[in-house]
Amino acid sequence: MGALLWIALASTNAPNWRKFPIGYVIVFFVALISKMLASNVVLKKGSVGDSIWAIIFGCCLRNALSFFTKSNILPPWLKVAQQTELYIAISLVLLCIDISVLRPLAARALFVSWIDTPTLFIVVAYFGWKILKIDRQTAIIMSGATFICGSSAAIALGSSMGVPHKTEFPIAIISIFTIPSIIALPYIAKRMALSATVSGAWFGGCVDSTGAVIAAASIYGDHDAINTSAIVKMMQNVLIGPLSVILAWAWSRYELQAAYKQEEELLNNPDNDKGNRNIDSLAQTHQQQQQHITDDSLGGEDSNTPSVKHPRNIHVATRPTESAYVLLWKRFPKFVIGFIITAVLFNTTIDDDTNLRQLINNYCFYVSEWFSTLSFVSIGMGLQLSDVKRNIRSLGKLVTLYIIAQLIDIIVTCVLAWTAFTHL
């Protein structure tokens, strides 16, 4: 895996790509320890998955380096290995969708996973922005991560809006607060005397990540629950692509309209010379900010350090020189293309009647989980404790939004699962 990643970074001429093997060994070692702890028999009973350990160890590594080096910026040899978006994109591409497995339950799984998700996603994001006064981008990321697929959705949506640095805190919150759902929902399902298929659909629709869904269904202890939960979650995962594309298009248009509006207001300034100077100044500032974001995504300076270099909301007036379609392509989540190609190849080149398809699917899922763990290590490496203290109020709002969203998701999904697998 490391060799292929190194070739990918070299082919794109990423900054410090020659130092990638050094940092990757560290990140991989942390991911390995996380998986070993998550597989421990005693610790596994507490449903503490590798994602939690990866975030904790990644955060400890980051803050230990900051303490000894007296700098909040990761060293270049480690920063280049903090490829969160790349890891999670590969993880998503490898989630092959086996049509033959989906076909028997596709209609009901679609009913559970697609009816409420887009609506609740929009409503809760609006609630976080308007009522809790969370900035729009973070509210959208938090809501999408809660209702779709945890960290995968968060990173995809953050990239679509051009703010990948805003995903660390939502992902950390979701990873920690998912644990109670994994433990409690199976026992609640049994207490309510829900059938295995209804319970599995419930877990698949409201538990955040695929691994957590399987863990909850395993605690329930029924093979039908495991199969149903996995299928519903797979159907829900498919939403990541369309929603990311739609959001990239909508947000690009929103930014262009805001830029045109502010430019018009400045041009209408009675002092035209002053207005033009303001436009030029704001345009230069916007370009500098965009350059810093680009540097962060390619392994430049630390993207989680709040400063002028990393604005939390970029709504700067500038002369729009790009159309919405150009911006859409720049923001377009490229993993969608890889996912479609992989799904088509998987379902057209491998015979349904052989065990080869199942073996390939299992292997792809195994490798996908590895890349997912690497992304969690990278997320942990983006968490600076000084930032956590400074943004404690914002964290409180995010936790409140997550709890509200998760409670709504649990109740609505339970009703949909019971309706779909009892009356349809």
Reported as a single tens digit per residue, the pLDDT across 229-254 is 878 887 787 777 787 788 888 887 78
d(CA 221, CA 399): 30
Q: How far apart are CA 310 and CA 165, in angstroms?
A: 8
Q: What is the mean pLDDT of the chain?
A: 78
Distance separating the N- and C-terminal Cα atoms of the chain: 44
| pLDDT score of 308 | 31
- The per-residue pLDDT for range 109-129, each reduced to its tens digit, is 888 878 877 888 888 899 999
CA atoms of 347 and 358, how far apart (whole Å): 11
What tens digit of pLDDT does each residue of 323-355 get? 556 666 776 667 778 878 888 888 888 776 667
Q: What is the pLDDT of residue 316?
A: 41
CB 173, CB 392: distance < 8 Å:
no
pLDDT at 324: 57
pTM of this prediction exceeds 0.75: no
| Residues in the chain, total | 424
Residue carrying structure tokens 């609505």: 412
Q: Over pLDDT 70: what percentage of the chain? A: 81
Angle between helices 106-114 and 196-206 (to 10 degrees): 40
* Predicted pLDDT at 352: 67
Record the tokens describing residue 207, joined without a space: 């538990």
Judged against a pLDDT cut of 60, whether residue 306 lies above it is answered with: no
**287-321: burial string, b at 16+ Cβ within 10 Å, e else:** eebeebbeebbbbbbbbbbeeebbbeebebbbebe
* DSSP, residue by residue, 65-127: HHHHHT-SSPPHHHHTT--HHHHHHHHHHT----HHHHGGGHHHHHHHHHSSHHHHHHHHHHH
Residue with more model confidence, 292 or 113: 113
Give the Å distances, CA to CA, from 1 to 21, 52, 229, 230, 285.
11, 22, 29, 26, 39
Residue 301 confidence (pLDDT) above 50: no
Q: Residue 56, Cβ neighbours under 10 Å: how many?
A: 21
Query: Can you tell me the mean pLDDT for 304-328?
Result: 46
pLDDT of the residue at 175: 77
Residue among 231, 195, 243, 268 nearest 105 (CA):
231
pLDDT tens for each residue of 7-61: 989 988 888 889 999 999 999 999 999 999 988 877 777 667 788 888 889 989 9
Determine how many CB atoms are found less than 10 A away from the CB of residue 334: 12
Q: What pLDDT sits at residue 304?
A: 38
Average pLDDT over residues 304-320: 39
